[in-house]
Structure 1
Amino acid sequence: MSSLLHHITFDARNAFEIATFWAQVVDGHVHPDDKPGDDSVLVVTKDGADLLFEVNPDDKTVKNRVHFDLQPAERTRDEEVAWLQTIGATVYSDQRRPDGTGWVVMRDPEGNEFCVERSAAERQAG
């Protein structure tokens, strides 16, 4: 027997605000029943691994034990990093190399780390 991945759940200070950020990142949408001020907010994704954000007043104090590695679908890595910054992400650690390989470690508006890798097209080009 096995289990199905139903939700990936995050603690959040403001569940609706951070859900709105991640809905943009993964091209999903906030569930229509969820609204600002809710204690839990669901982001529905196209691939079925939905993201659930639940209010928790504790501060984030250490590095995430689990994080997303994002591969841009329609932009290059560098274009994706620039776009993510316009919606509230920040660069935490730039691991890009002169030969074009590498990744960028970023933080969402609540400080959760995630990585942005090269797109499939960039990988294929070398």
Structure 2
Amino acid sequence: MTSSVRTVTFDTHDPYTLATFWAKVLKGKLADDDFPGDPAASVTTDSMTLLFWQNPDGKTVKNRVHLDLEPDGPREAEVEWLLTLGATIHDDRTTTEKLEPGAKPGAGFVVMLDPEGNEFCVLQSAAERKANS
């Protein structure tokens, strides 16, 4: 038997607002029946569905699971755009002192937080990886 991932689910205080953020990030679509105040909201992309489920608990520790984003353009431009949507930079792992041993300058990733503090990483684009290999 084989399973496949159908949905990635996030606990959130405000499902509609967080789903709207991620729909913009992933150029996805909110479900037609999702509205502010609903206890759940979903975002569908070409490759996955994200479900945002209302939960009153606060986030207190690092996520055990997170998304890694691969932009279709320069990582730096993607990070700047995500900041305009309400994300924040948590840790810039692209700086020389934070790269893994042996990594070339420009490698690494940027750890960001969505509007509710969930971590996600922004990797290099495929073109950037190719240019740095």
Task: Flag whether TM exceeds 0.5 (same fold).
Answer: yes
**1:55 maps to which residue?**
54
Q: Counterpart amino acid of 2:94?
A: R
Give 5+ residue unaligned stretches, structure 1: none
Q: Counterpart amino acid of 2:54?
A: V
Give the number of the structure whose alpha-carbon radius of gyration is greater.
2
Which of these residues, 123, 127, 130, is aligned with residue 117 of structure 1?
123
Give 5+ residue unaligned stretches, structure 2: 97-104
**1:87 maps to which residue?**
85
Q: By how many angstroms is 1:4 displaced? A: 2.5
**1:78 maps to which residue?**
76
**1:69 maps to which residue?**
68
Q: Give CA deviations for 1:48-73 in whole Å, capped at 9, x if unaligned.
A: x1000000010000000000111101
Take 1:46 and 1:107, find their aligned partners in 2: how far apart are those partners? 23
How is 1:14-25 mapped onto 2 (pairs within 5 angstroms)? Answer: 14-25=14-25
Q: Which runs of 4+ in 1 moved over 6 A?
A: none
Task: State, as a whole percentage, how many aligned pairs show the same letter.
Answer: 53
Q: Give CA deviations for 1:22-56 in whole Å, capped at 9, x if unaligned.
A: 01111101111111110010101111x10000000
**1:27 maps to which residue?**
27
